[in-house]
A and B are shown apart, each in its own frame.
Chain A
Amino acid sequence: MTADATPALVEDKQRAAGPRVRKSSAYPRYLAGKVAGAAVSLLAVLVTSFFLFRLIPGDPVKTMTGGRQVSAEQLAAYREEFGLDLPLWRQFTDYCGKALTGDFGTSYQFRAPVIDKITEALPNTLLLTGTAFVLYTALGILLGTRSAWRHGRLGDRVNTGLALTLYSIPSFWLGLLLIIVLSVGIGPLPGMFPTGGMESGGEEGLAYVLDVAHHLVLPVVTLVAVEYGQTLLVTRSALLDEMGSDYLTTARAKGLRDDLVRRRHAVPNALLPTVTLIFINLGRTVAGVILVETVFSWPGLGGLFYQALSVPDLPLVQGLFFVFAAAVILMNTLADLVYPLLDPRVAR
């Protein structure tokens, strides 16, 4: 570090350094506020998930036993089994009490605990959307940064044009296209990837890992292609806002290489909107992407949610809704907690 650095540059350096900036005295209050907000939101979700799906018309037990002759005694037994014979307020308090311990009841259609169905599908969704998330976030930030830094040039126009185009393409359409081209094969291009599913079945050990990786490629490519544009555009836009700042001129005047000015000074200061987006996407990762999971027959939460809604399987719908919402709330809260580390002014 040079001794003659201007005060402005020192401040900018501190901001750019990010994690090295320690929490201000306002941080605990800020932290408590955000955590309390998250807790209230979770409570609201719990209440909403219970009452919202009870607005769906019909009798869950009749739906469950639709098409079969069921006696009054059997219907009563089912109602008792699923707690539907209790007054609404009792059902609600039972639901809340059990939900806090992870018990969301029993799925009507699968006759299995909801939490079991969720934990069965969750790792599959996390693998798919998590892999895609890492890739499209990295790709979006890298290309967004480069586009902004060389804005107006051919590369920028191609980058943003391509990103906007892919972002506008329906994911299921792109997925089907990739299946036809890269899975079945077209012309001289051979089919290289499985058309769907997560595994061939019957594989073990390393062969299983490789098999799953093989199945992962096309759905991940689809998700990355459709999603990276958003990160790219947000990063590009934020960085463009920073581009005319005086501290960057000062940095350049000091003789720093352009690449360093971009990476060490401009990008860290422009990251805040991108961080928000990253955390929101991270929350959505748990929910999976229903259409991509359907096109590629990926056995994840998205497909499970669709199945639950079409019955409707109330306990499963409620459980999934809560998990999805909780993931988003959790990630947004984490984003709030990280902001002050990037920019201490946020917590003031």
Chain B
Amino acid sequence: MGTNDQKRSLPHGLRLVALAGAAALTLTAGLATPLDPASQQARAADDGKKVLTVAVAQSVDSLSPFLAVRLLSTSIHRLMYEYLTNYDPKDNHAIAGLATKWEPSPDKLTWTYTIRDTSKWSDGQRATAEDAAWTFNKMMTDTGAATANGSYVGNFRKVTAPSPTKLVIELKKPQATMAALDVPIVPKHVWEKVSDFSEFNNDKSFPVVGNGPFVLSGYKADSYVRLKANKDFWRGSPKFDELVFRYYKDQDAAVSALRKGEVSFVAGSPSLTPAQAESLKGADDIQVNDAPGRRFYALATNPGAKAKNGKKFGDGHPSLLDQRVRNALFRAVDREAIIDKVFRGHAVEGEGYIPPRFQDYFWKPSADRKLSYDPAEAARLLDQAGYKKNGDGKRVGKDGKPITYRVLCHATDPNDKAVGKYLQEWWGELGIGVRLNCLDNVTDPWLAGKYDLAFDGWSVNPDPDFVLSIHTCGALPATPEETGATDNFICDKKYDELYARQLTEYDPAKRADIVKQMESRLYDLGYMNVMAYPNAVEAFRTDQIKSITTMPAKAGNIYGQDGYWSWWSAVPADSGGSSDNAASTTVVVGIVAGVVILGGLGVFAAMRRRATAEERE
């Protein structure tokens, strides 16, 4: 038997493959030695730059500011492009951005903005009022460009730029939100070359021309988004040289990356879980930021879905049209237990519609109006409404059938599932059944009005106009076939009147007072039960970030701010890696790799030698 036969024999081939694989793994394992500080420290890039790395989970939907709607994408646009105005990190009031000042005409229908003359695009050209006018006009005339922010220009009649520093916006009717136009202003000379705004994703050519604190310098889908500091930014250059958003689809893996130092910051989606926060609290060089959040977490009832044309649709339970039933259900929700057991203390008990961190607009019911936890009162209200228990202890509807509510919940949100279990217990004691309908995609049944109650939650902006608008009659779909901006089909004339008043009220104090009246009205209607204001729970490495601005400054969040304050203000910790370290690492890695490859070849040769020796015997 010749050796040629042996060469063809399968096990030897496989042995070769296995050996090669083992060598590959050993080789790469060698690369991962503790000698490799670059892999350990997020802040030291190969060339010694200070890099701030942020763990994110959400995919970028688009890098075009005309298309992007996801939080990550819009946050990146905040960093890439200046908006007309910004929000003060201390108290959220509107401050200068690309515009240095703005004022309405006496008839409240024309706003004139003075555009900053020191803002430059990253390709060296000056940013002017013409760029802003072009951006708004494009959104007003091109449906593709109106995809993401079209609602901001819905009330615009005309936008002009009489001079490079003067922008004039004429309105169809007064609106008080003209200092809260969260629209990225793009460079006309770059974007006017785009032929189809509904398809252009702004993610192929880098660096992307912008005038924000950072310039987008690289992007790879679901791998990373890389931004470099804009040294010419008018407010001053960021302290970190680069900002990198890295993807961690699994939250536990992201927390591990923070522990290891691969990332400087992790926020969760939207927050770290209580268990993750607890585990990080004792870790070295890690600070957990457990701050009042900007979200509310609510239970919303289906008030009978209908369109603007009056046509009803959906199949919400008719008993929920009775305010006594809605109040009874909310009287049987122990919010304190939810804070303690579900949020483990990382939340504040819910009251009014707008979270307390927005002090100007925060409203809470007086003690005598508060729908506090009172199961006996809940039972009494249900009896009074005519929904009494049958012989089996079940409350029956007008049709004589036991009531079981379908509660729409987000399959990806553990809080929904946990609170749902409590609802089953609490409402079960009242004689009401609960069927949790947890879905990845809740949009379809929600838009179709095919639910009885739903877990609801929104992040509130410093200007509350948007979250208030989603409960107006005007937000209903025009017909059942169309899509409205409504949250859950609430339509109340009194609420609408208040909404219209606040929108035209240019005095901040008076406007805040009207907003509180709207919250009061919403509370009385009982369609929304705000159960909690979840905290923003996030963590960062103190050996990488020396200081960072929260919003509000005293006790606020870092990720997802209204503005670019956190990443723009972040100061690197003193210690850090250098390019020398990285270079020496490469040398070490090369040596290790060479030794491993030679060793692997040696072993293989020895095995072959032994085999042929046996054959010779």
Contact = CB atoms under 8 A, between A and B. Distances in A.
A299 B222 contact: yes
Contact of B5 (A131, A264, A268): A264
Contact of B18 (A70, A142, A190, A210): A142
Interface in A259-276: 259-260, 262-264, 267-268, 271
Contacts of A193: 29, 32
A206 to B, nearest CB: 9
Contacts of A74: 143
Interface string B54-79: 00000101100001010000000000
Given A195-B256, A257-B614, A294-B250, A268 B221 contact: no
B39 interface: yes
A5 interface: no
Nearest to B31: A214
A100 interface: no
Contact of A71 (B5, B250, B482): B482
B399 interface: no
B34 A299 contact: no
A213 B614 contact: no
Interface in A185-227: 185, 190-203, 207, 210, 213-214, 216-217, 220-221
B143 A77 contact: yes
10 contacts: A58-B447, A67-B443, A72-B478, A141-B14, A184-B259, A191-B260, A195-B253, A196-B250, A196-B253, A303-B222
B17, B223, B475, B614: most-surrounded residue (chain A CB, <10 A): B223
Contacts of B444: 57-59, 62-63
A303 to B, nearest CB: 6
A138 B249 contact: no
A202 B256 contact: no
A11 interface: no
Given A67-B69, A111-B67, A304-B222, 12 more contacts: A62-B444, A67-B443, A69-B475, A112-B199, A117-B221, A193-B29, A194-B262, A200-B38, A202-B46, A213-B24, A299-B247, A310-B441
A310 B443 CA distance: 11
B32 A297 contact: no
Interface residues of B, number: 77
B48 interface: no
Interface stretch (A40-48, A160-168, A175-183): A175-183
A93 interface: no
B249 A213 contact: no
A120 B14 CA distance: 31
B315 to A, nearest CB: 13
B272 to A, nearest CB: 16
A169 interface: no
A20 to B, nearest CB: 9
Nearest first, the 9 closest Cβ-Cβ pairs linking A and B are A58-B444, A69-B485, A66-B443, A299-B222, A192-B32, A201-B224, A195-B257, A190-B34, A135-B21
Contacts of A268: 10
A84 interface: no
Nearest to A176: B252
A81 B253 contact: no
Contacts of B448: 58
B223 A198 contact: yes
A196 B248 contact: yes
B584 interface: no
Given A135-B18, A176-B252, A312-B441, A195 B28 contact: no
Range class of the A interface residue count: 35 or more
Given A58-B448, A179-B256, A299-B220, A201 B244 contact: yes
A24 interface: no
Contact of A195 (B151, B244, B262, B485): B262
Contacts of B220: 199, 201, 299
B574 interface: no
Nearest to A293: B249
B195 interface: no
A249 interface: no
A299 to B, nearest CB: 4
A95 interface: no
A185 B481 CA distance: 55
Contact of B443 (A63, A134, A195, A201): A63
Interface in A72-88: 72, 74-75, 77, 81
B21, B247, B481: most-surrounded residue (chain A CB, <10 A): B21
B479 interface: yes
B348 interface: no
A75 B11 contact: no
Contacts of B254: 195-196
A22 interface: no
B116 interface: no
B226 interface: yes
Contacts of A198: 223
Contacts of B440: 309-310
A296 B246 CA distance: 12
A65, A134, A138: most-surrounded residue (chain B CB, <10 A): A138
Interface of B: 1, 5, 9-12, 14-15, 17-18, 21, 24-25, 27-29, 31-34, 38-40, 45-46, 59, 61-62, 67, 69, 143, 151, 198-199, 201, 218, 220-224, 226, 244, 246-250, 252-254, 256-257, 259-260, 262, 412, 440-441, 443-448, 475, 478-479, 481-485, 586, 589, 593, 614
A26 to B, nearest CB: 26
B18 A66 contact: no
Contact of B10 (A110, A190, A197, A267): A267
Given A111-B198, A142-B14, A183 B483 contact: no
B260 A72 contact: no
B29, B38, B69: most-surrounded residue (chain A CB, <10 A): B29
Contacts of B478: 71-72
Contacts of B32: 192-194, 214, 217
B218 A202 contact: yes
Contacts of A159: none
A239 to B, nearest CB: 12
A171 interface: no
A333 interface: no
Nearest to B252: A176
Contacts of B198: 81, 111
A201 B248 contact: no
Contacts of A14: none
Given A72-B482, A201-B218, A294 B18 contact: no
Contacts of B259: 184
A59, A70, A172: most-surrounded residue (chain B CB, <10 A): A70
A307 B482 contact: no
B592 to A, nearest CB: 11
A112 B218 CA distance: 18
B323 to A, nearest CB: 27
B482 A267 contact: no
A57, A81, A201, A295: most-surrounded residue (chain B CB, <10 A): A201
A145 interface: yes
Given A62-B447, A66-B483, A294-B249, A213 B45 contact: no
A180 B244 CA distance: 23
A189 B484 CA distance: 56
Nearest to B18: A138
Contacts of A299: 220-223, 247
Contact of A263 (B9, B38, B222): B9
Contacts of B59: 307
B260 A201 contact: no
A181 B590 CA distance: 25
A58 B28 CA distance: 47
Contacts of B475: 69
Given A217-B25, A310-B440, A202 B45 contact: yes
A214 B593 CA distance: 12
Nearest to B69: A68
Given A195-B256, A310-B441, A69 B483 contact: yes
A216 B18 CA distance: 17
